[in-house]
Amino acid sequence: MTRPYSAILFDLDGTISDSAPGILESMTHTFRTVGVPVPDHATLMSFVGPPIMDTFRTAMGMDDAGAERTLAVYREHYLSHGALDSAMFTGMDVVLRTLHEAGLPLSTATSKPETPATVILDHYGLTGYFDFVTGASDDEVRSAKADVVAEALRRLEAAGHDVSRPVLVGDRLHDVEGAHVHGVPVVFAEWGYGSPAEAEGTVARAATPLDLLPILLPDAAA
């Protein structure tokens, strides 16, 4: 059986990690520290997943200097307090181990910077299943999902992996849009933070992590 995908990219927040508690607490601390009114819970939840500098500039109306100052406060608090205030979604370890053991190349493609992304995956014991942990650069210069997807594919290809049929697993609209820039189809993680409307344009939807296996590796599920 020909496998439908030759390489698999995974979003992190809302897909592998239920990271909202630590992000929301760090956001709240940050906005209070810099003297910005804290948005309501629903608005804060909408900030989980998209590039954080986009949130500061667009959603919060900050100029570049203000966004940089706010990022510095957020980063310090999140790395020291919020990054591990999270939990792996049930079954994700089984999914990643199965895909890895089947020989499929894996990379993250997360808007979270690579340092905290690695800390979280190390904490869950998942890092070894990935060929690369690809995310936003720590300075946030690379943060748009399309740029992260491009970097993940570049790294995999440079390592000799087949990236002719990649797929991204993600839970938010920016995952879908960023992947589509490069013609990469998306499997929507319904257990994540996105609304059903954000799944428009995806090739499949999975209700739970374990539901990914018949989609991504049908020979193993047969």
Sequence spans of domains, the chain: 7-18+87-221, 20-82
Write the class of the CATH domain 20-82: mainly alpha
| pLDDT value for 222 | 43
Query: Dihedral (C-alpha) 174, 216, 200, 51: value to the nearest 10 degrees?
Result: -10
Quick one: pLDDT band at residue 221, thresholds 50, 70, 90? low
pTM: 0.87
8 Å CB contact between 66 and 56: yes
Three-class secondary structure of residue 175 per DSSP: helix
* H helix and E strand count, the chain: 10, 9
> Does this chain's domain 7-18+87-221 share its CATH topology with 20-82?
no
Q: What is the mean pLDDT of residues 34-53?
A: 89
The percent of residues in the chain predicted with pLDDT above 90, rounded, is 76
Mean pLDDT of the chain: 93
- What's the CATH number of domain 7-18+87-221, 3.40.50.1000, 3.40.50.10490, 3.20.20.110, 3.30.110.70? 3.40.50.1000
| pLDDT value for 181 | 97
| pLDDT value for 53 | 86
pLDDT tens digit string along 44-85?
Answer: 998 887 788 888 998 889 999 999 999 899 988 988 887 788
